Structures are given as structure tokens and as C-alpha cells.
Structure 1
Amino acid sequence: MDTNKIQVFIMSQQFLFRQGIEHALSSVEDIEILGNTEVNDRVLSAIDTFPPDVALVDIDGSTDNGLKLAHKIRQRSPNIGVIMLSSNPNDTQLFQALKAQAAAYLAKDITADQLVDSVRHVARGEHPINESLTTRPKVAKQVFQEFQELSRRSTAEAFISPLTPRETEILNYIAQGYL
């Protein structure tokens, strides 16, 4: 295991898809595949033992399992960047991916180069998923409403809101379609 390389773990119900992703990434000099497995909770112990920098999670098949697994990974290991992959990306899944704290949400029809770029961005701590909000006002509105609900629940919860008043204002403008 080379610690200078970006460590990646692949999770999908589809064996052939996992092999294809592994093949596409294995020839990249700065990326190392730690392993691949089906989407299930057993992967958590493997990730605890050999934590990757980036976890690729396929949310097709049983979307709930992939979303829940991504959320569990982020709860247990906040330093792991989660990239969710979907064959039918839509606003509902994007919103769920945001709630699961995914760093990126990608369509499966991307090129190998696009996947490599996303892995590199996420490994650097970037969140390409946030860029999706500027082009998806409906999702931005859902996020804005979620934060409004959070701040209504209690003063204590509002205090820990991750958005500043200015960020809330900007998100509101995006939700209204101004950007």
C-alpha cells in the first residue's frame, strides 16, 4: 500500500461495474485501489481496517442501501470522501446524496478521465457536489428549506447550523433561480 497515492475503495452490487471502475483507475499512477465489494454494511469493517481517501458508492440497485452506507461511512470516518454513482441521476437522488454528505454525485456515463478528475478533487477535500446546486435551483431550494427547518427546531440546533447568514442568503438566491 503506497501512502503517496490516492487510496480508493469501490462499492457496487454489480461485479462487472466494479471491475470496470477498477480497470479504469488501476492504470492511473497516483491512484491505488484498496478493494471492491458489494454495497453492504460488512464493508465498514474493511474501511475501518484500511481507510481509503475516497469511497466510490454505486447507488443503483438498492438506492437506500447505497445512501445509508455512504452516510455511515461519513459518520464513522469523516475524512473519507464519498463519491456516489448513478445510472439515472436526478434531483431527488442529488438531494439525498447531499444529505448523506457525499462529496460528489456522478452519472455512470462519465468518461474515465472525468472519474479520475473527480477522485482527485475529492481526495483534496473538495466537494464538486456543491457545484450542482448552482445549476439545480429545485435542489438548492430543498437544501434551503432543510436548513430553515433545522433552525426552527430549536435554538441549540440553529446555533450549530453549518451555514452563515450570508451563505443562507446566497442559497436562497440560487433556489429562486437568480444564479
Structure 2
Amino acid sequence: MEAIRVLIMDDHPIFRRGIRWILDSADDMVVVGEAENGQEAIELADRLSPDVVLVDINLPGMNGLEIARVIKRRDPRIRIVVLSVHDDDEQLFNAIKVGAAAYQTKNIAPEALMQVIREVAGGAYLINDTVMSKPHVAARVLNQFRELAATGEENSQLFAPLTSREIEILDCIARGMSNREIASQLSISGQTVKNHITSILSKLQVNDRTMAVIYAIQRGWIKMGGEKPPEGEGRAARRRGGATGSAAGD
């Protein structure tokens, strides 16, 4: 099995060297380069073709998210792990929009960082779990689904095939509702809910409910902005839990 090729992008030499020291201890990883600014990171990504790029989000000059966007546009195969000093919802939204596979704070444990790199290199989108662990963030995402669908804008292939009922069901999923709760909320049968979810997954070509919610933002198709749900809704969503489940759910 070939080693995972990692490029480190951070403007602090000590932090870069620390990450390199951590990754050099792993038998299945190799640090192919280090960059201290955006232009250098983009050039190294073009030349070295890393599997994973670790990108610091807070940089002077060219923002880390812009760097990630350019790298992903030039080579969609490269997986981006965004590192931030703070756990910030706006940064999380933007990390999804540029196609990042993971969003982590810099206080992550060395072993955990190595595991993140392994998983994203294997094709996982760990950023999904980060979003769905925050009910108000997930609900805000679905607000963008509804708003863009309502305007009839055709700047993506995502919304054209989705019906207004399917948008409603995605909204319910993001709020952590089970199929039974969705059926009650929309006054339809449980089987009808399952049929709609199956249709959504098929249209968006994703495998589960979580990916259906996150699919559009990962590709930068969802506009930023929108209101957070009332505090009561947020508490209710937290009690119900995140929008998880495989396929059409139960």
C-alpha cells in the first residue's frame, strides 16, 4: 500500500515542523512538502500532487479557504483538511463550500489528526459529521435549500429535480426528525416519506440522508446567509439528535 502523500500549509514554521514530526512517525504517511503562503501552497500542490493538504484557515494575505478553493479547482482528487484556531460556524460553512473533507481545530490530538488524514485519504467526508452535530447549522443549511429553490434560480443541477415536498423532507431531516415524525409533521404516510427519501437519494446520487443534506454545500452551490432558527427550535433539535441514518431511514 502506498503511503499517503501530505502537503502542509501554515505560516508558522514551528507549527509546520511539529506536524511534520508527527506525520513522520507514521509508517503510512509521507510529508511531500511544506508551504508558508498561498502561492507556494498552490504551486507545490500542482507539482507534487499530494493526496491530502492540511490548510491553516487564518493566514495573512490570501485566506486559507481561497487557497483550498484554488487547489480543489485545479485537482478535485486532492483532499483538503482545514485547520482553525477556533471552532467557528461561519468558517465551517465556508470550509464546506470550498470542498473541504474535514474541519478541525488546531488543538486536535496527534493520533486523532493522523486518523483524520487516513480517513479523508480513503474518501471520507468527516466534515459531514461536524455539521450534523450542530442542529442550528444543519437547519440553516436547509434554509438555503428552500430559498434558492423558491427563487427558481438555475445556477446548479441540484435544485431542478427536487420537488417542493422533497425540500420540505430534507428540512425535516436536517432538524433531526425520524421518518415517523416527518410523516406526522407533513400529514403523509411513513411509506410516502420513505419513497420521497429514496427519490432524493437517487436524484442527488448519494447514499444516505446526511450526504443528501450536505451534498450541495460541498460543491459551493449553497448561498451564505440566512437566519438561525428560534432558540426553542434549536433546543428541540438537540433533544432529537442529528440528521443521521442510512439510505431512506426507518
The unaligned stretches of length 5 or more in structure 2 are: 177-228, 242-250
Match in the other structure for 2:33: 35
Offset, 1:148: 3.0
Offset, 1:94: 1.0
> In structure 2, the residue corresponding to 1:160 is in which secondary structure?
coil
Offset, 1:41: 2.3
Q: What is the one-letter code of the residue matched to 1:168?
A: L
Using the TM superposition, name which of 85-94 and 159-168 deviates more.
159-168
Let me know the Cα RMSD of the aligned residues: 2.5
The unaligned stretches of length 5 or more in structure 1 are: none
Q: What is the one-letter code of the residue matched to 1:133?
A: V
User: Structure 1 or 2: larger strand share?
Assistant: 1
Match in the other structure for 2:111: 113
| Counterpart Cα distance in 2 of 1:51 and 1:64 | 21
**Aligned equivalent of 1:142, options 133, 140, 143:** 140
Distance change (3 Å), C-alpha of 1:105 and 1:7:
same
Match in the other structure for 2:175: 173
Is 1:24–1:112's contact at 8 Å kept on the other side of the alignment? yes
Offset, 1:28: 0.3
Distance change (3 Å), C-alpha of 1:158 and 1:51:
closer
CA deviation vs aligned residue, 1:92-147 (integer Å, no higher than 9, x gap): 21111111211000011111100000000100010111001221122212322233
Match in the other structure for 1:56: 54
Is 2:142–2:171's contact at 8 Å kept on the other side of the alignment? no
| Counterpart Cα distance in 2 of 1:89 and 1:53 | 25
| Counterpart Cα distance in 2 of 1:162 and 1:12 | 40
In the TM superposition, 1:1-179 aligns within 5 A as: 4-62=2-60, 65-154=63-152, 156-157=154-155, 159-161=157-159, 165=166, 168-169=170-171, 171-174=173-176, 177=237, 178-179=240-241
Using the TM superposition, name which of 75-84 and 53-62 deviates more.
53-62
Q: What is the one-letter code of the residue matched to 2:100?
A: A
> In structure 1, the residue corresponding to 2:124 is in which secondary structure?
coil
Q: Normalising by structure 1, what TM-score?
A: 0.86
Q: Normalising by structure 2, what TM-score?
A: 0.63
Offset, 1:169: 3.9
Offset, 1:63: 8.8
| Counterpart Cα distance in 1 of 2:46 and 2:156 | 32
Percent identical residues: 32
Is 2:139–2:171's contact at 8 Å kept on the other side of the alignment? no
| Counterpart Cα distance in 2 of 1:111 and 1:163 | 42
Larger radius of gyration: 2
Runs (4 or more) in structure 1 with deviation over 6 Å come to none
Q: What is the one-letter code of the residue matched to 2:131?
A: L
| Counterpart Cα distance in 1 of 2:92 and 2:157 | 26
